[in-house]
């Protein structure tokens, strides 16, 4: 007995739907992982940042991130690429970016009990926590946190 193949055409709506779904999915994937470069000079060494902070009478901004962290990239895109934020960071704090997956950062991750990314911590030059936020921090809240930085 022969099987009869049925070539049933799909409705044009479904072709449009799946094509649109594919395009939107690809755009969202790009958007989630795109982080433009910024002019902030990040360091990844706490000891040198502490020395610099003591000499310049500034506190330290520690930004805990990871390569796979989509919210971190969104924060880099929305917050750290902003010119006003960059100016306030340059004026008020010494910025450090710590990749939590880096084995050299294990002690720092344990010291500040980091369980999620992004985590933003403001510390004194001696390492005492002044302020912190877990998750994406909106620009106005981040600027408010920056403005409250004065060396203790």
User: Binning pLDDT at 50, 70 and 90, where does residue 139 land?
Assistant: very high
Q: Kindly state the percentage of the chain with pLDDT values over 70.
A: 88
Compute CA 110 distance to the chain's CA centroid, rounded to the nearest angstrom. 19
Tokens of 117: 């990314």
Question: 79, 139 in Cβ contact below 8 A?
Answer: yes
Q: Which value, in Å, is the radius of gyration of the alpha carbons in the chain?
A: 22
Q: What pLDDT score was predicted for residue 74? A: 87
- Quick one: fold of 46-147? Glutaredoxin (3.40.30)
Question: 122, 149 in Cβ contact below 8 A?
Answer: yes
Question: 117, 65 in Cβ contact below 8 A?
Answer: yes
Q: Kindly state the percentage of the chain with pLDDT values over 90.
A: 61
> What are the pLDDT digits (tens) for 101-126?
999 999 999 999 999 999 999 999 99
Question: What are the residue ranges spanned by the domains of the chain?
Answer: 46-147
Predicted confidence (pLDDT) at residue 151 exceeds the cutoff of 60: no
Question: 63, 76 in Cβ contact below 8 A?
Answer: no
């Amino acid at each position: 007995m022969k099987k009869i193949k049925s070539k049933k055409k799909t409705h044009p709506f479904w072709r449009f739907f799946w094509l649109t779904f594919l395009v939107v999915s690809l755009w969202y994937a790009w958007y989630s992982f795109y982080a433009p470069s910024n002019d902030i000079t990040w360091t990844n060494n706490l000891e040198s940042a502490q020395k610099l902070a003591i000499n310049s009478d500034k506190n330290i901004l520690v930004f805990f991130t990871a390569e796979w962290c989509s919210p971190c990239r969104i924060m880099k895109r929305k917050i750290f690429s902003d010119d006003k934020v960059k100016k306030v960071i340059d004026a008020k704090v010494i910025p450090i970016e710590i990749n939590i997956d880096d084995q050299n950062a294990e002690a720092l991750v344990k010291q500040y009990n980091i369980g999620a990314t992004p985590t933003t911590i403001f510390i004194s030059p001696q390492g005492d926590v002044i302020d912190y936020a877990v998750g994406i921090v909106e620009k106005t809240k981040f600027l408010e946190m920056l403005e409250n930085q004065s060396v203790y």
